[in-house]
Copies of this chain bind each other. A is one copy, B any other.
Amino acid sequence: MLTPTAIRSSVMPVPAVPLPMPPHDTAQAESLAEAMQLRGAIMSYPRNAEIFAEDEPADYLYQVVCGSVRTYNVLSDGRRQIGEFYLPGDIFGLQCGDKCPFSAEAMTDAKVRIVKRSSLHALAERDPSIARELFVLTSRELMRMHKRLLLLIKSAQERVASFLLEMAERVPSNPDIELPMSRQDIADYLGMTIETVSRTFTALEAAATIEVPSSRHIVLRNRPALNRLNG
């Protein structure tokens, strides 16, 4: 399964003015969201631009403001594995040690809030609630990862079904889904080839489980069937 994706944009990210965020509804003196807003800079990335690269020093935490982001690894033989897709609101970069264990790219034009990890950790030293939030966030990411694991042992149909259900949950415009990623991205996320992804979509459509009006627009027609496939 070779996927020699040499996507590398030469476009430089453009700093933008911070966007106002809706006020957070917790009683916290300062929540993580607020802290990130205060301390964060917002960067704009065009489609396919690199946000950070594997093995770079991992100095920042990131939050998608708008658009979408993919993290990924490229194996020595060129195969690419997508680590995760991040949508508006999602925070990524939590699992970094000293060096980033993967790369990140804007999947669509995107604005990303960037905060120095050191600044957040310093804050966490003083404010246990921030520390707690960081922990919860990481632990949640871990659970998401765990669901991915379960995904990857399944058949092609099951993987695609799980993927669609996950996306439906994350972009709440049911039953329609507007996918921000290409077939290649989906394939590399699910650990299969682009052809198998395509065939699986076709099969699900033939079974009237989904509709595919355009390649990135999916309509879930039979959720029970998808849930059955989901195991």
- Residues in chain A within 8 A of chain B (CB atoms): 1, 73, 75-77, 79, 81, 83, 94-97, 101-102, 121, 124-126, 128, 131-132, 134-135, 138-143, 145-146, 148-150, 152-153, 191, 231
How many copies of this chain does one complex carry?
2
Cα distance A213–B68 in the bound complex, in angstroms: 51
Question: Within the complex, what minimum Cβ distance (angstroms) separates A12 from chain B?
Answer: 28
Residues of B within 8 A of A143 (CB): 95, 97, 101
Decide if B191 touches A95 in the complex (CB within 8 Å): no
Cα distance A95–B144 in the bound complex, in angstroms: 10
Cα distance A96–B139 in the bound complex, in angstroms: 7
Question: Within the complex, what minimum Cβ distance (angstroms) separates A177 from chain B?
Answer: 23
Contacting A149 at CB < 8 Å: which of B121, B139, B140, B145? B145
Residues of B within 8 A of A79 (CB): 153, 231
Cα distance A75–B151 in the bound complex, in angstroms: 11
